[in-house]
Amino acid sequence: MIFRRGGIALLPAAAVLLGLLGCKPAPLTEAERKTVASLALSSLPPLPADPSNRYADDPAAAALGAALFFDQRLSRNGDVACGTCHIAGRHFQDDRPLGVGISTTSRRTMPLADAARSPFFFWDGRRDSLWAQALTPLEDAREHGGNRAAYAHSVKANWAEDYERVFGPLPDLSTVPANAGPFGNEAEKAAWAGMDMAQQNTVNRVFANIGKAIAAYERTLVHEKTRFDRFADAVTAGRDPDGDATLSDEEFYGLRLFVGKANCIECHNGPRFTDDHFHNTGIAPAKSLPEDLGREAGVPQVLSDPFNCLGPYSDAAPEACGELRFMNTSGPELRRAYKTPSLRGVADRPPYMHAGQISTLEAVIDHYVRAPASPDGNTEIVPLRISERERAALVAFLKTLSN
């Protein structure tokens, strides 16, 4: 939740008074009803196409992607798959402060449901498509730790028929080293440098298609309705919520705070409860981790990524790459700015923030109440003036996004 200067809206006086007196809460105002409707999953538009991935909605690609997502052979030690950190029963994340693959990373694992709707990926937005994102951990020494030549050989050895059903004939890899890539150990980098451009392009094309298949699968991962959605649907339809669509008085009060006085909706808006933007909220760095500048470091990485929307392995025409072409590339607001996470399922997946620095929802709200100065760059938040009762109500409402 982010609370900006000049962005605090007051609750209707009558609602506050009735709440303090313990009476039945006042009905939602028309403005509140519209806001609540905008947060419901039922208002989510159809999943947009990904012009950079022509296979994004191909069922055969998704089937191959699902197999690759859980294939531990796509790692250096044969023990790590995408599903190692993105656990299906845990909102496709892992409950850890920091992701753990071959070794421990420096960021928290992000959930994947409806992630395909985001224009940029990772906490710093260093990739601009779901398929480019899927490739990155495969070569990260702390995550899968492998190299792209080895992955191409693995696909040919284990998934050739499925691959060719989607992407066409696999290339001849007989002259490609068993292990080679622009990252990895010195021998692997030297082997990559010794390959000619045609060989590198051949491997890169297979590697890109691995990402495109995994992305096709990840596009099928969606949020499920919660009690809040059932409540919001009833409100939108003009019905009195009943049964499992009801909110307690405390949860209802927390909802009003969320869209009003606390102004959480400034950044946690829309059916996914995120604006998909990057913000500095004064979060202290995690101990013993290297310097992390957030979006400021992510921008040059996404621009230089050969697998970005404008790169040679993208299926998009340049004019379809507006998010990349026109994104903000400089300015003090990028320093230590991190992506707004979705709040769906938030109560089920502590700890919080980009490196798991805060252990509970109550402590997260306390952070926004205190609004400490940013350790680097300029924080966007100011102290939130809410009572202990209001803090508890906010937490109660957030829990309705998980059940």
Question: Per residue in 326-346, pLDDT tens?
Answer: 999 999 999 999 999 999 999
Question: What is the predicted pLDDT for the residue at 209?
Answer: 98
Q: Return the minimum-mean-pLDDT range out of 4-8, 14-18, 134-138, 271-275.
A: 4-8
Q: What tokens were used for 4?
A: 């900006």
Q: pLDDT (tens digit, 9 = 90+) per residue, 143-175?
A: 999 999 999 999 999 999 999 999 999 999 999
Three-state SS string over 304-346 comes to HCCCCCCCCCCCCCHHHCHHHHCCCCCCHHHCCEEECCCCCCH
Question: What is the predicted pLDDT for the residue at 25?
Answer: 83
CA dihedral 304, 306, 310, 313 (to 10 degrees): -170
Which stretches of 40-180 are DSSP H helices? 59-69, 82-85, 130-139, 148-158, 160-167
Which single residue is written with the structure tokens 């060989």?
199
The count of C-alpha atoms lying within 13 angstroms of the C-alpha of 3, restricted to the half-sphere facing its C-beta, is 25
Question: What is the predicted pLDDT for the residue at 17?
Answer: 40
337 - beta bridge partners?
294
CA distance 277 to 270: 13
Which single residue is written with the structure tokens 């605090």?
8
Q: pLDDT (tens digit, 9 = 90+) per residue, 300-310?
A: 999 999 999 99
Q: Which residue pairs from 272-275 have beta carbons closer than 8 angstroms and sit at least 24 positions apart in sequence?
A: 272/44, 272/114, 272/117, 272/223, 272/342, 272/344, 273/39, 273/342, 273/343, 273/344, 273/401, 274/118, 274/339, 274/340, 274/341, 274/342, 274/343, 275/340
Domains along the chain?
Answer: 13-39+224-294+336-399 (1.10.760.10), 59-218 (1.10.760.10)
pLDDT for 79 beyond 50? yes
CA distance 176 to 200: 9
Question: What is the predicted pLDDT for the residue at 12?
Answer: 44
pLDDT for 324 beyond 90? yes
Average pLDDT taken over every residue of the chain: 94
Question: What is the predicted pLDDT for the residue at 22?
Answer: 52
% of the chain surpassing 70 pLDDT: 94
Q: How confident is the model at residue 20 (pLDDT cuts 50, 70, 90)?
A: very low
Q: Return the minimum-mean-pLDDT range out of 19-23, 146-150, 172-176, 219-223.
A: 19-23
pLDDT for 77 beyond 50? yes
Overall average pLDDT of the 91-110 stretch:
96
Question: What is the predicted pLDDT for the residue at 6?
Answer: 35
